[in-house]
Amino acid sequence: MRILICYPGHVISTVDVARGWESALRKQGHEVIQFAYEWHVPFYGAVLDAWSEWNPDFKFRLKDALMLSSQDLVCKVIDLMPIDLCLIVCGLLVHERGYEQLRKIGVRTCVMFTESPYNDHLLEYILPRVDVMFVNDRNSVEPLRAQNRNVFYMPHSYDPGRHHPPEEPVNGEYRHQVFFMGALYEERKALFQGLEEIDLGTDIELDIYTTSMDRRGRVTGGMQNDELVRHYWGSDIVLSPNRTTKDYFQQTQIEEPAYSLGPRVYEVAACGAFQLTDPSRPELGEVFGETIPVYHNPEELAEQIRYFTERAVEREERADEARERVAPCTFENRAREIFLPKIEEVFGG
């Protein structure tokens, strides 16, 4: 197939999903053309912001930048026609007019949605305008099929070219006893605050790197995946708490529990690192069995940290077992076993 892959518009996190799919589909023998949507959105944002400074009556809205960026996507598709599929990763930053125009020119469209179940409510304008959508939480599939019957579950994946054990020991700034890097949602803040109130002993150091959309986090703007991998390599214990926050600013929680694992658990395991997580995702046992220890509250987490800090051999054994369990969960295998068969099922050979 000749596929145009539209990147998500973000420069961290979901951009790694796009990279993974681009590489996987190429390895399967398909022609894949990249559209770097993440450069178009800030460009038009800067242009409109500058224009608003010279024209006070002009009210700049993010939606305007998204509409212009979406027009660029449509023009790129037209330039490349004929193409067999326009694959849009995440999709929330593509304006509804972009989806409508792709539909009108007869291009087959597929969205690889990465934000289930937290942002399922934002899909109302996308679902009727695309041919296929893959979502990353199993519980989201049936409710979303009410708007589009071609909604399928796509588990998260990892890239073995990036997520693998280190070739040599990691030292310096990448060495940690206990490490976390991620968004500072309210449930995580409560977990870490509870952990800080517990005496772990003078020999245990917590390195908690957090990002937040209101710039209260320790790491402004996030961290690239290649850099994050080095921190995983150098950590005795990686913390992988699951998310329950639906909206960061409104501090709302998801109505129904999520079923599926996020990408962090897969990536940490593939890197050969030991991790602790909570048992809120039923998929954890299906994928990893009992290889990843779980905690239910800050007290249990503190107990697990104390226990495993002193047991390097057990940490290594569990990490090796988890890596063995995660081995089949690559982007390439997902492409071969799920993505391509479903695309053929919907569109025919």
What is the signed CA dihedral for 198, 202, 203, 209, rounded to 10 degrees? Answer: 60
Query: Same structural domain for residues 204 and 247?
Result: yes
Q: Are residues 25 and 104 in the same domain?
A: yes
Question: CA dihedral defined by 212, 247, 225, 126, rounded to 10 degrees?
Answer: -140
Does 206 lie in the same domain as 290? yes
Residue 283 in any domain: the answer is yes
218 and 111 in a single domain? The answer is: no
| Same domain membership, residue 99 and residue 192 | no
The DSSP annotation for 240-254 comes to EPPP-EEETTTTEE-
For residues 340 and 321, state if they share a domain. no
3-state SS, residue 297: coil
Q: Is the residue at 167 inside a domain?
A: no
Place of tokens 């993010």: 62
Structure confidence at residue 53 (pLDDT)? 84
Give the per-residue pLDDT at 246.
65
Q: Are 178 and 192 in contact (CB under 8 A)?
A: no
164 assigned to some structural domain: no
In the chain, the number of structural domains is 2
Please tell me whether residues 335 and 318 are part of one structural domain: no
Domain at 312, CATH number: 3.40.50.2000
Assess if residue 165 is contained within a domain: no
| Residues 74 and 121 reside in one and the same domain | yes
Q: Is 197 in the same domain as 119?
A: no
The verdict on 336 and 319 lying in the same domain is no
* Domain extent at residue 237: 172-326
Alpha helices in 161-297 (DSSP H): 186-196, 225-233, 263-270, 283-288
Average pLDDT across each block of 10 residues of the chain; the chain has 349 residues. List them in order. Answer: 94 88 98 96 90 83 92 98 97 96 97 95 96 98 97 98 92 93 88 89 85 48 82 97 71 77 97 97 97 97 95 97 98 98 93
Read off the DSSP letter of residue 337: I
Q: Is residue 184 part of a domain?
A: yes
Q: What pLDDT is attached to residue 217?
A: 43
